[in-house]
Amino acid sequence: MSKKYYGVIGHPIGHTLSPFIHARLMSLCGIDGEYKIFDIAPDELGEKFNSVLSSLDGFNATIPHKQSVMRLVDELDETAELYGSVNTVHFTDGHSKGYTTDGIGFVEAIRNAGISMGNVVTIVGCGGVGRVFANTCAKQNCKLNILECESALENTKSFADSLNARFGEGVAEVFSTSDFCGESDLLINATPVGMFPNVNACVVGDDVISKAKAVFDAVYNPAETLLVKKARSGGSKAITGMTMLVYQAAAAQTIWNGSEFNSDDIDRLALDCFKELEKR
């Protein structure tokens, strides 16, 4: 089998654990592969897609490229098209196809942690991964509160309208983050707020956190975000996005190479990722 070449794109991207994770996953499956980091600014994405990324066997996309990369690929997987987000691209004989594995990673991560979506899910942020969370939870018949900053409310309301049309009127309601004070069975942070090095930032106030039965923070660096710390101190079950990160990477390897992984391997790798963070 010839050597495979993969990578991850984002901006900024220096914090990423993706090379560490994919190196382990490829090793587990005996794949001879290389995985690199590509820091690509938004205005460079189109040119880099054609000149650099298309020479790879596949790549992952993170903030801020999960939506913009959609217009560049030749084909979209059904789920990626539905969710309006791509985090994995596969090249086959010059043909590019976009997928999203974030939904798989999210569902497996909360299942492993013993967290239920419940009936009411509050999602902060309506970017690429936020839309994946919203669609995933709506498919499970959850009522959604979607929170955004004032400047993004109009686009968020349009997205909520599409959810209501697809899953039933009243499924999704939009609030300004600063105005919301409701209860949640599950509170999700789908923004970069709280990510290293801005570890003292929290996406919502203490009143919202105290009314959440469980918390999922998509941020994975630091190992315990301020949001997760506050939720745990109040007695709520809370996790960061590390296990999700590993599960969605494993799903990408399945797309690229047909690889399969067991839950024990995933759990061990997630723990090793936290240790890797401590070295940085």
- Cα–Cα dist 174/145, whole Å: 6
Domain residues for the domain of 34 are: 4-100+243-279
Q: Which of 4, 66, 213, 230 is catalytic?
A: 66
Q: What is the pLDDT of residues 164-181, one digit of tens each?
A: 999 999 999 999 999 999
Q: What is the pLDDT of residues 212-229, one digit of tens each?
A: 999 999 998 888 999 999
Say if residue 72 is in the same domain as residue 56: yes
Q: What is the DSSP string of 76-135?
A: E-HHHHHHT---EEEEETTEEEEE--HHHHHHHHHHHTT----SEEEEE--SHHHHHHHH
Q: What is the pLDDT of residues 96-114, one digit of tens each?
A: 999 999 999 999 999 989 9
Say if residue 178 is in the same domain as residue 141: yes
Q: What CATH number should be reported for the domain holding residue 28?
A: 3.40.50.10860
Q: What CATH number should be reported for the domain holding residue 145?
A: 3.40.50.720
Under 8 Å between Cβ of 26 and 56: no
CA dihedral 259, 263, 264, 269 (to 10 degrees): 70
**Does the annotation count 66 as an active-site position?**
yes
Structure confidence at residue 141 (pLDDT):
96
Does residue 265 carry a pLDDT above 80?
yes
- Cα–Cα dist 208/138, whole Å: 21
Least confident of 11-15, 48-52, 59-63, 256-260: 11-15
Alpha helices by DSSP H, 177-262: 206-210, 226-233, 242-257
- Cα–Cα dist 201/197, whole Å: 10
Say if residue 31 is in the same domain as residue 75: yes
Say if residue 55 is in the same domain as residue 128: no
Q: Model pTM?
A: 0.89
Number of domains in the chain: 2
- Cα–Cα dist 55/53, whole Å: 5
Name the residue with higher pLDDT: 14 or 86: 86
Structure confidence at residue 278 (pLDDT):
83
Structure confidence at residue 1 (pLDDT):
65
Say if residue 119 is in the same domain as residue 231: yes
Say if residue 191 is in the same domain as residue 269: no
Say if residue 232 is in the same domain as residue 118: yes
